[in-house]
Amino acid sequence: MSLTEDTPTPKRPSGFWSYANPVKFLGLSERILPAFWGLAAVSLIVGLIWGFFFTPDDFRQGSTVKIIYLHVPSALMAINAWFMMLVASLIWIVRRHHVSALAAKAAAPVGVVMTLIALFTGAVWGQPMWGTWWAWDPRLTSFLILFLFYLGYIALWEAIEDPDTAADLTSVLCLVGSVFAVLSRYAVNFWNQGLHQGASLSLDKEENVADVFYIPLLVCIAGFVFLFLALVLYRTGTEIRLRRARALQAREART
């Protein structure tokens, strides 16, 4: 029996895990990115124009209801971006795939901008409706803490020189911050004393906003989801290239 028959050849990862290979990941993202950019642009332009120009005022909230097309999708993405980072961080902790750690790093600035948009639009919507820009309401407060966690997460990546150590520590921070991501979503269900209303969207059709606002809102949400996907894929590619460039520079310096 020959040696090659005795020695098992290492199995190449297949399916989803094969995209842990940076070259394969870059190949896939190059192929699908144009579609994601296009879908994001079309759905955001259609949804925002539809919502701003062609929906009526609400009988109680007047024209401020138009802020819903920015506030709800950005808040949704702010929370879900953190959950995407959590999944990517767990993959890094368990399987040590660099692409997943870099994807989490790439998503954080997108998440911070989404959180900022949600906080700002919430404040300018809250002022005429509640009579205040800000209240220490459970949902608002947990959202502010989520924003601070995003800033801390980005700062931690920047502060640590060794990328693997940075990935380890930011993954732990991401696990801790997930508590506030969950609270941001469900705080209104836990505590009833807050100013913030319940969910605007629900699987229970009775609880949803009226259809005239609902359909353009869904288009805007689709736009924000595609924008998030396009930005995260593109930024992950950037992080992979920067990592490769640093590795080559380090090799050059050694020789």
Partner 1 sequence: MMPDLGKYADAVLSAYGVSILLIMLLVIITLRKGRAARAALEAVETRSKKNG
Interface contacts to partner 1, rule CB under 8 A: 48, 52-53, 57, 62-64, 66-67, 70-71, 74, 109-110, 113, 116-117, 120-121, 124-125, 127-128, 227, 231, 234-235, 237-239, 241-242, 244-245, 248-249, 251-252, 255
Q: CB-wise, 64 or 208, nearer to partner 1?
A: 64
The CA-atom distances, in angstroms, between 199 and each of 6, 12, 81, 209, 235 are: 60, 44, 18, 9, 31
CA dihedral sign of residues 95, 167, 35, 203: positive
For the CB of residue 12, give the shortest distance to partner 1 in the complex, in Å: 25
For the CB of residue 2, give the shortest distance to partner 1 in the complex, in Å: 35
Do 108 and 152 form a contact (C-beta atoms < 8 A)? Answer: no
For the CB of residue 90, give the shortest distance to partner 1 in the complex, in Å: 25
Q: CB-wise, 90 or 116, nearer to partner 1?
A: 116
For the CB of residue 49, give the shortest distance to partner 1 in the complex, in Å: 11
Token duo for residue 34: 């144009």
CA angle, 40 as apex, 38 and 41 as ends, to 5°? 65
Measuring CA to CA, which residue among 125, 110, 113, 116 is closest to residue 69? 125
Q: CB-wise, 16 or 54, nearer to partner 1?
A: 54
Q: CB-wise, 183 or 237, nearer to partner 1?
A: 237
Q: Which amino acid is at 152?
A: G
Q: CB-wise, 177 or 237, nearer to partner 1?
A: 237
Token duo for residue 64: 């401020």
For the CB of residue 192, give the shortest distance to partner 1 in the complex, in Å: 26
Measuring CA to CA, which residue among 153, 89, 90, 144 is closest to residue 119? 144
Q: CB-wise, 183 or 239, nearer to partner 1?
A: 239
For the CB of residue 242, give the shortest distance to partner 1 in the complex, in Å: 5
For the CB of residue 4, give the shortest distance to partner 1 in the complex, in Å: 32
Q: CB-wise, 125 or 147, nearer to partner 1?
A: 125
Do 215 and 43 form a contact (C-beta atoms < 8 A)? Answer: no
- Locate tokens 């906080």: which residue? 119
Strand partners, 58: 62
In three-state secondary structure terms, 53 is helix
First to last CA, the chain: 42
Q: Compute the distance between CA of residue 99 and CA of residue 121 in angstroms, rounded to an integer.
A: 33
